[in-house]
Structures are given as structure tokens and as C-alpha cells.
Amino acid sequence: MNFIMRGRLWSFGFRSTIMLYFILLVVLPIVGVYSQSLKLGWSPFWESVTDQLAWEAVLLTIKLSLVSTVINVLLGTMIGWVLIRYRFPGRRLLNSLVDLPFALPTAVGGLMILLLLGPNSLVGGLADKLGFEIVFHEPAIVIAMIFVTFPFVIRGVQPLLEELDKSEEEASYTLGASKTRTFLQVIFPSMLPGIISGAMLAFSRALAEFGAVVLVAGNIPGKTLIASVYIFGEIESDNTQGAAAVSVLLLTLSFLILGAVNLVQARRQGK
């Protein structure tokens, strides 16, 4: 009996510790952002959100995040396909390098882009001769977003390809379907949930990226100033309410994306 009671107490204490940890590190900061944004009332919040610089920063962030997500979907799907379907020297190394953006500090990623594509680099110098610049302009921001969100689509697609029943693919070929038709009607539908969830996670991550972007963006209002850098600038200017208001926009959008991801995964598990 004492053993059972101790087990129950241990289980209750463990659950309570986990819940307390979750509340302190996740719930309270989120509540703090929302309360800080509305601390002065609805009118100042609306003024902060509709400020021209803030709105332009948010719209630019969404636009560039969409561009980076589309590129990640195309590249990530192809890379995931190659890593699962083909065997070649260095495959395991390449597969392990996919997760490098998760382990590498984002500021280091931004520095790498700056060194490789900056005005003094070979690529940057060639681009300058052709009449366009990469670093401190939108292309560099997109590249930084692609770098930090690179693994999401790949890791979303790979498990689905591994689980794919090859007998369905072989049956399609036996019935006379071409490789293209088999891919579009048999393989691609199986990959689609992973592509969608990976794309949404990549988009949500790109919205909030700061470390890699701040080093390569020109931070010109209306042109290269993105939302995360704008928020940082507002905090430095001691306008925490304005920074929190813009943060709420990004946070709410991320919540909607997270809900959509969970819905896609739930439908996939329900099949």
C-alpha cells in the first residue's frame, strides 16, 4: 500500500513539475507579450500595429518568408527524395548535415552568408559587376531564412518516403503508368502531408528569424527592415509596448500555423 501511495505521489509530483516548467517557460512569456501590448489600451496598440514602418516591416517579412518557404519546399522535397531513394558515397554525411542549421547559432549562419556573399567575396564581387547586390538587400534575407529553415521540409518528407509501400508503386508500373504519372498519383499524395507541415513550420520559423538576418539585412525602413529587426529597434528605443504589439501579430500568426500543422498531422494519423 505504501509502495502504491509513493508511486502515486511520485507521479503527481512529476506531472506537477512538468506543468510548472511549461507554465514558467511557455505560458507566462506568451501572456506577458499579450498583456504588455495591451497595457496602454486598445488605441495605442492599434496605433503601434498600423504604424507605417511596422506594417511595412511585417508585410516584407511575410513576403520574404513565403519566398523562402517556396524555395525550401522545392529543394527540400528533392533532397529528401534523393537521400531516401538513392545510395551514394557521402550520403550519411549529407543526411547528418541537414540538421546543421538547428545546431549552429543563427548569428554564425548570418556571418557565413556575409563572408560568402558579401561585397569582398568572389560571388559578391561577381554580382556587383553584373549590376546587383546580394548582401544588405532582399536576396540575402531570403538566403538567411532558407538556411535556418532548411531541415523542416526534408525531415517532414523523409519518414513518409520510408513508410511508403513500394508494392503500390510497382503495381502502378505494372498497370502501364509512366514514372511521372506514378509519382503524381501514388508517391506525391503520400509525401504531401510532410511537405505541407514542413512548409508551415519553415514559414513560421522564417517569420521570427533575427540572428542570421540582422547581419545581412540593410535594415532600411520599407525596403529591407523586417519585423524581428524592427522589434529589436523598438526595444532599444524604449518602446516596449510598440515592440510587443508587433510581436503579437507574429505570435498570433505562428499560433494559427501551429494549429494548421497539428490539424494536418491529426488527419494523417487518422487515416
Asked if the model's pLDDT at residue 1 lies above 70, the reply is no
Percent of the chain with pLDDT over 90: 13
List, in sequence order, the alpha helices (H) in the chain: 2-22, 28-37, 42-49, 52-85, 91-97, 100-103, 106-117, 122-129, 138-163, 166-174, 179-182, 188-207, 211-214, 227-236, 240-270
Buried b or exposed e, range 226-239, using 16+ CB within 10 angstroms: bbbbbbebbeeeee
- 241 and 151 in one domain? yes
pLDDT number for residue 269: 61
Percent of the chain with pLDDT over 70: 92
Asked if the model's pLDDT at residue 9 lies above 70, the reply is no
- 25 and 113 in one domain? no
The CATH number given to whatever domain includes residue 190 is 1.10.3720.10
- 85 and 8 in one domain? no
- 96 and 5 in one domain? no
- 125 and 227 in one domain? yes
What residue numbers bound the domain in which 72 lies? Answer: 42-270
**Model pLDDT for residues 33-58, shown as the tens digit of each residue:** 778 777 777 787 788 878 888 888 88
- 217 and 92 in one domain? yes
Residue found by looking up cell 505570435 in the block: 251
Asked if the model's pLDDT at residue 259 lies above 90, the reply is no
Asked if the model's pLDDT at residue 29 lies above 60, the reply is yes
- 46 and 16 in one domain? no
Asked if the model's pLDDT at residue 10 lies above 70, the reply is no
How does residue 5 score in pLDDT terms, banded at 50, 70 and 90?
A: low
- 255 and 200 in one domain? yes
Give how many domains the chain has, as a whole number: 2
Residue found by looking up cell 505521489 in the block: 9
pLDDT number for residue 152: 92
- 263 and 151 in one domain? yes
How does residue 70 score in pLDDT terms, banded at 50, 70 and 90?
A: very high
pTM of the predicted structure, to 2 decimals: 0.82
C-alpha cell at 4: 502504491
- 65 and 2 in one domain? no
Cα 3 from Cα 5, distance rounded (Å): 5
pLDDT number for residue 2: 57
- 236 and 146 in one domain? yes
- 25 and 64 in one domain? no
C-alpha cell at 23: 507554465
**Model pLDDT for residues 174-227, shown as the tens digit of each residue:** 777 777 777 777 788 888 888 988 898 899 889 888 888 888 887 787 788 888
pLDDT number for residue 221: 79
